[in-house]
Amino acid sequence: MGGFDAFGNEIWDFYQNRPAREVVERDDGLIDPSEVGPGAYFAPHEKWPSVERNAIRYARGRVLDVGCGAGRVGLYLQEERGLDVVGIDNSPLAVKVSKLRGLKKVKLVPFENISPSLGSFDTVVMFGNNFGLFGSRSQAKRLMKKLFAMTSRQAVILGESVDPYKTTNPEHLRYHQRNRARGRMAGQVKIRIRYRTFVGKWFDYLLVSPEEMKELAAGTGWRLSRLIRSEGSPLYMGVLRK
């Protein structure tokens, strides 16, 4: 039987030791089978990208793990660092897997619906390119202001992104132009996840350059204080402080 939780079903199958592969579909018709696969959502700390291993050292206090997936980041912080972690995800099956793997506090909450009812935090973790969950310029501004109100004075946001301009792929460059013509940010992609007979809902996912990350933070109470880059890769981490 099909359904909308394509992401959750691939996570569930991988957790059950069944073969699984993720496919991303973009609204211009581009089909992109993931080269990494769902195993990345379960990767231990030593297998994380270098930008993540470097950035996780800034995590402290009470942590909000945005888009926690299978719980890899939250479990590391909970078990290895002894931190109090709350994971949130919009996938019921991802939340189930995180709980089964031992993440103590996991809630079925879409990022756009965060509220002070979750509590106050010292660190907001957005690994796995999850800075993209801000979705758009306007929503990024709105949600950063929300996070400002939900965090302590010394709080940090650890936001991972991919610089969309570090490409020569003509399909991506045409998509940038298409976005600009529609008044969207160049790296604002509309995508959905497909897995077997499951087809996820369309959603906006925002890829930004470091300069755009800095601009998005302006006026929200946050500032981009440090960049952690990956040699020869468009992947990077922004450390945002109040």
Residue 183 neighbours by CB under 8 Å, 6+ apart: none
Provide the mean pLDDT of the chain: 96
pLDDT at 2: 55
One-letter amino acid of 78 = Q
What is 49-190+215-241's CATH number, 3.10.450.50, 3.30.210.10, 3.40.50.150, 1.10.645.10?
3.40.50.150
Q: What is the band of 34 on the pLDDT scale with cuts at 50, 70, 90?
A: confident
Tens of pLDDT, residue by residue over 82-141, are 999 999 999 999 999 999 999 999 999 999 999 999 999 999 999 999 999 999 999 999
pTM: 0.96
Annotated domain spans of the chain: 49-190+215-241
Percent above pLDDT 90 for the chain = 95
Smallest CA-to-CA distance from 74 within 45, 114, 37, 47 is with: 45
Angstrom distance (rounded) from CA 76 to CA 85:
10
Tokens representing 11 are: 């996570």
